[in-house]
Each structure stands twice: as C-alpha cells, then as structure tokens.
Structure 1
C-alpha cells in the first residue's frame, strides 16, 4: 500500500510537507528550519550533501537569494509509518523568474522522517530533478 500507518501520523506528515512548502514561498528561514531534525541531511545532486541543521539552513538561505518570487508546491506520493520513523516520497513544482525567463521545475524527494518530542520532522531529504521548462517572460 502506498500510504500506510496511522491516519493521525499521515496527516501530521502532510502538515510537515505543507509547512515546508509555505516557508519556501515566504522565504522564511526560521519556519523552514523548524521542519528539520538537528542531525539532518539534505542531498542535492550537482550541489552536494549538506549535514546538520546549521549547514542545511545556511545553504538554503544563501540559495534562496537567487529565487525571488518563487512559488513552491509539494504533495505526497507515498508514506510509510513505522512507529516514530517514516519514509515519504513527495513531488515538487517550482515556478520562478530568472534572466527574463519563467522557469518551471518538477522534482521528487525521497524522505526519511522522525517524530521527535511528539513532532514530525525531516531527517533526510534526497532530491531528484524530473523536468525543467523555460519560457520567455
């Protein structure tokens, strides 16, 4: 089954994903950081793997300067919950303007999540680009 585990936990993981996406759209580093575990890891092929919340958030904060007006959407494709651990697959759509072009990027994240102190957070996120489109603005 693509979605398994208690409904309450699945809803909380969806809230985690939605909170992440909302923080990206608002360029809110504190809200975005709150979605990650302290000992997290973020893997972005072509850019590297970043370990620990400080490195992950610093990398994201610097990168976001190049994405004014970014609209980031995310939705779950699968969730499997086993106690206080979960795996999730999610899909993303990013739309932004750069160099007089409108960019539309689609991607997929493979996630490991953990419930820490009663709250779900990302332990690791591994990104994979699926499609990129550029159009004249």
Structure 2
C-alpha cells in the first residue's frame, strides 16, 4: 500500500508538505525554515548536503534569489509512517523564471524523511532529483 500509518499523522504530514510548497511559492524564509527539523539534511544534486535548519534556510534563500518567480506544487505519492518517523515520495512541478529571463517547468522527485517532534511533523531529510526542465532554465554556470 502506498499510504499507511495513523490517519491523523498522514493528514499532518500532508499539511506539512502543503505548508512547504506555500512557503516556497510565497518566498517566505521563516515559514520555509519552520518546516524543517533543527538537524534536517537537504540533498540537492548540485550542492554538498546542507545540514541544520538555519543552514538549509540560508542556502534556500540564496537559491530562490535566482528565480524572481517561483510557483511550487507537489503531492505525496507514498507515505509510510512508523511511530515518530516516516518516509515518502514527493512529486514536484515548479513553474519558474530565472534572473536570466529563462522560464519553464521543472519537475522533480523528493525522497523525504519526516520526524515527529511533539505534535508536529517536520522534514528530517529531503533528497531532490530533477526529472525534467532544469536545462531549460539553468545554464551550467548558474547551477
């Protein structure tokens, strides 16, 4: 089964994913940061792993500055909850325009790990794989 675990936790993780996408689309660093665990790890194929909520938010702020327009959409394709830990696949579609004036749709896949802290779920690890469209908006020297 693609989704299993307590329904309440599945809903809370769905809300976390929605909050993340909303923060990215609104370019809100504080709300973006608050979706991450303090010891979270972000893997992007063009960077070394970024470790820690504050470092992740700072790197995200630098990355998003390359895209004056960015609209993030995503949906969970799977979610497996085991106690206070969970993992899932997040499929993304991002409509972007770069500072160089290139625009397009970037599709990708996140392999996500979640951790529950108190009553809240947070991203513990996000590993991004671009699937289509990066070459249309990014030159080699911009990545």
TM-score (normalised: structure 2): 0.90
Q: For residues 52-103 of structure 1, give each alpha carbon's deviation from its aligned partner in whole angstroms, at most 9, with x where no partner exists.
A: 1111111001111111121110100100001111001101111112333322
> 1:52 and 1:62 mapped to 2: Cα distance?
16
Tell me whether 30-39 or 96-105 shows the greater mean CA deviation: 96-105
Query: Which protein has the bigger strand share?
Result: 1
Tell me whether 58-67 or 15-24 shows the greater mean CA deviation: 58-67
> 2:83 and 2:127 mapped to 1: Cα distance?
22
Partner of 1:131: 132
Partner of 1:68: 68
Structure 1 segments unaligned to the other structure (5+ residues)? none
Is residue 121 from structure 1 mapped to residue 138 from structure 2 by the alignment? no
> 1:100 and 1:113 mapped to 2: Cα distance?
35
Is residue 20 from structure 1 mapped to residue 20 from structure 2 by the alignment? yes
The RMSD of aligned alpha carbons is 1.3
In the TM superposition, residue 112 of structure 1 has moved relative to its aligned partner by 0.8
TM-score (normalised: structure 1): 0.94
Partner of 1:107: 108
Q: Give every structure 1 segment of 4 or more consecutive aligned residues whose post-TM-superposition deviation is greater than 4 Å.
A: none
Is residue 92 from structure 1 mapped to residue 92 from structure 2 by the alignment? yes
> 1:94 and 1:54 mapped to 2: Cα distance?
23
> 1:48 and 1:107 mapped to 2: Cα distance?
18
Partner of 1:47: 47
Partner of 2:57: 57
Partner of 1:81: 81
Counterpart secondary structure, 2:49: strand
